[in-house]
Structures are given as C-alpha cells and as structure tokens.
Amino acid sequence: MDATPRRVVAVLGTLDTKGREVAYLADAVRRQGQVPWLIDIGLRGTPSVAADVGRDEVARAAGTSMAALEAEERTEAMRAMGRGAAALLAALHRRGQLAGVVAVGGGKGTWIATDAMRALPLGVPKVMVSTGVGRDMRALIGSRDITLMPSIADIAGLNRITRPILAQAAGSICGMAAAAAEPSPSTGPAIALTMFGITTPCVLRAQELLEAHGYETIVFHANGMGGAAFEDLIEEGLIGAVLDITTTELADELLGGVCSAGPHRLEAAGRRGLPQVIAPGALDAVNFGPPETIPAPYEGRRFVRHTPVVTLMRTTAEENVALGAIMAGKINAARGPVRVVIPAGGFSAYDGPGEAFYDPAADRAFIAGLQGALDWRVAVAVRPEHINDDAFAEALVAALADLLAGTAPAVAGVPRASEEGKEVS
C-alpha cells in the first residue's frame, strides 16, 4: 500500500470471474480524470487481469491467508475477504487517500464489496453495480449511503448493455467524489428527529421551531433502515440531541413487522448520554406488505391499507403494555437526561377520533406499561393533544429546550398519572 497514489477511487471486484468488466470500469474511472485502484476480492479462480491490491494482500489484511481461506467454507471465506477489504479501505480513508469506492459483482462479489463499504463512514462515495438490485438488499447496505445500480444484464462480458452501465457507474463515482470534496457549511452536532407518514405534521412543526432557533435538524424516516441509520449516526457522534417522536419500529420488532430497526433501537442516545425527548409516535401501527403477506396469526385484526404495498395493523392493549415496558427498559438505561411526552389524544394520524385505529384504551395500556416499568426519576408528561396537533409539537420542543439549557430537573419527584388531559412534569 506504500505505493498508493495520493488520492484514488477504489475499484473492487472478483478478478477471476469479472476481470474484463472490472478492468473496463477502472479504465472508465481513469477517463473521468480519477485514479483507479483495483482491489481483487476474488476467492478461487485465477485472476484474469492484474490488480493494484491482490487477493493475498486482502486476506492478510483480514489476519489470514489465501491458503487458509481455500480450506474454509465459502461463506466464512467471503466474510474474511469482506473484513480484509474493509480494513484496506479504512486505512486509505484515514490517510485521506480515498476519493470513493465503486464495485461490480454478482451475488458473491456484491456481498463482499458491500460488506467492505459498510465499514466506511457516511459521506464517503460508494457505488455498487450488482446483478442483485431488485431484491431486498437491506442486509447488504445496512444503514450506509451505498448507491445501488442494477447491471440489467448479467456481468458476463462487455456488450451494448454492460458497457454503458459500467461507464455510468464510473461517471457516478467520479461525480460523487468531486461533490464530496466540496466543504460542508455544517458545523457541530445536529438534532435528530424521527418521522413516519402518519406523524409528519408533528415532526415538521417541531423541525420548524428548532430551525427557527438556529438548530440544524436531521429527520430520519422510521422505516427500519431509517431507525438503524439514526442509531448508527448517534454512535458516530454526528448527533447532539434527540427528539425521538416516532418510535414505531419498536412495534415492528416486537410483532414481526417489516420495518424493524433491530433489537437495539432507542439505545444509542442513552448510551452516549445525549439529551433526548421521546414520544410513542405511530406505536399504534405495525407495518406489513400487501394484505396477502400478512402472517396468518394476525387474521381478523384491524388493518389500514396505507399504500398499495404497505398495510398497517393496529396494536392491541396487551401489546401496548409490552411496548411500554420495552421502551421503559431502554430509557432506564440512559446515561443522559430524558423526558417522555405522550399524546393522550392519539399516537398517529390513524389514531384519532373517527379514524380506523382510534382506541384510547389501547393507548392508556401503553402508558400503564411504560409507567409501571419506568424509573421514577424519569420525567413523563401525559398531554391531552393528538400527536399531530401543533400544541403537542410545541410541547416536545419546549421539553428538549429545557434539557439543552440544563433546566430540566435531574429527579422528577412528582408522581405520574395516566389520565387523559392531565399533564405531569
């Protein structure tokens, strides 16, 4: 790696099976004025073109050797090559030599390349040309800013389809590298908010108020990937405070919905000691696909067809008690100041008078489950508004302002109440 040019675009591929195509991509990067740096992530066959970083070096970066990997089961060998490529890319990035990374691959190459890309921080340009685009690739891209390009045809030769696709990938990564070099006007940590379609009015009003006071805000869509990105960026130190309005991903994790952010949602801010205000936004809803995809045990439940491809299921009182206890456990572990603000008038656009999910008893069950498990030192306000009322958004921002100003009491000794319309601070 000592001979690496000052700044490069890393080009990844399996040079035993995709050598011609990867070399064409590297040449296209060069024609765009960037310096390609070819990394071989192949496992078995003989490379058909020369690499700047051979597979032996990739294996060494993973703490192993190609000889050892030949004896490994294929998936374990793939994991090792992903780790090795990740280590090499991270080293280039630390030295300021990485302008971006682009890869081309089928199933195996896509897995290894995206595994390596996920090790890079937000903002480093990443482009993956893959035969797998069109399938659910969430496991491959995670919460990272990886741009996916479908190869259309299989990556098996250069022809009237693959040539322009690879040339466009080169243009994409080079353009992204140039854009990434521009200085960002943002300084200091931002305030993160979480939003879903059915909590949008609340979040937009809160964002408006925060930005009017000079705060930079970042809104994350609480669709699973968004919640995972929210947690990851908190861990990376890019977030200074949290207004976690839409915690619906907890319901999907508990009940098998398609928008789970994993078991560690609602933990990063507490672990880092950030000020956070939390609401049960959209916890009345669990996300599934079209009606025919809903699991059989949920037959007969209350549903709303949110879009042609999204069906929402209403959570029950029993489920809400469990969700309250789950949320309380995560909040109790927080190292920083926390306030919980609950809209007794409804948790989402579908949970209001006359709406399909309106169920005050189920909402009260959540409040009871939360309060029954929550540490007594955590301040809770149960407010009369619906979540999408402006007054509720204003209460959320006021609570966060108190935490940011250091005026929130360290211990809230006032007993909490779950009655609708009664505010507790």
Q: How many Å separate Cα 389 from the centre of its chain? A: 28
On whether both 170 and 202 belong to a single domain, the answer is no
Q: What is the pLDDT of residue 420?
A: 36
pLDDT above 60 for 220 = yes
142: left (phi over 0), alpha (psi -120 to 50) or beta: left
On whether both 236 and 325 belong to a single domain, the answer is yes
Per-residue pLDDT band for 142 (boundaries 50, 70, 90) equals: confident
pLDDT above 70 for 135 = no
On whether both 259 and 132 belong to a single domain, the answer is no
On whether both 259 and 148 belong to a single domain, the answer is no
Question: What DSSP assignment string belongs to 271-303?
Answer: HHT--EEE--TTTTEEEESSGGGS-GGGTTS-E
- Specify the CATH number for the domain of residue 379: 3.40.50.12030
Q: What is the pLDDT of residue 6?
A: 83
Range of the domain at 143: 8-180
Q: What is the pLDDT of residue 408?
A: 55
On whether both 365 and 272 belong to a single domain, the answer is yes
- Looking at residues 205-227, what average pLDDT do you find? 94
On whether both 241 and 102 belong to a single domain, the answer is no
| Bridge partners, 31 (sequence order) | none
Q: What is the pLDDT of residue 182?
A: 75
pTM of the model: 0.80
Per cent of the chain over pLDDT 70 is: 93
On whether both 133 and 230 belong to a single domain, the answer is no
CA distance 156 to 160: 12
On whether both 19 and 142 belong to a single domain, the answer is yes
Residue 366 lies in a domain: yes
pLDDT above 70 for 148 = yes
pLDDT, one tens digit per residue, over 17-74 is 999 999 999 999 999 999 999 999 999 889 999 999 999 999 999 999 999 998 888 8
Q: What is the pLDDT of residue 138?
A: 73
pLDDT above 90 for 396 = yes
pLDDT, one tens digit per residue, over 292-326 is 999 999 999 999 999 999 999 999 999 999 999 99
On whether both 31 and 152 belong to a single domain, the answer is yes
Determine which helix (DSSP H) or strand (DSSP E) holds 105, and give its type and residue range.
strand 98-105
Tell me phi and psi for residue 325, to 5 degrees: -70, -40
Residue 415 lies in a domain: no
On whether both 109 and 201 belong to a single domain, the answer is no
CA distance 34 to 20: 19
C-alpha triplet 250, 194, 390: angle, nearest 5°:
115
pLDDT above 60 for 412 = no
Q: What is the pLDDT of residue 421?
A: 37
Cα–Cα distances in Å, from 29 out to 54, 237, 340?
19, 33, 51
C-alpha triplet 68, 72, 75: angle, nearest 5°:
130
Q: What is the pLDDT of residue 71?
A: 84
Q: Report the range of poorest mean pLDDT among 114-128, 129-143, 403-417.
A: 403-417
Residue with tokens 């030295």: 95
Domains contained in the chain, number: 2
Cα–Cα distances in Å, from 334 out to 244, 274, 291, 416?
14, 9, 38, 19
What length does the chain have?
425
Q: What is the pLDDT of residue 406?
A: 84
On whether both 151 and 209 belong to a single domain, the answer is no
Among positive and negative, which fits the CA dihedral 13, 17, 18, 19? positive
According to the 3-state scheme, what is the secondary structure of 170-194?
A: HHHHHHHHHHHCCCCCCCCCEEEEE
Q: Which two tokens stand for residue 299?
A: 């037959």
In the three-class reduction of DSSP (H, G, I as helix; E, B as strand; rest coil), residue 304 is classed as strand
| Closest listed residue to residue 88, CA positions, set 70, 115, 67 | 115
pLDDT above 60 for 251 = yes
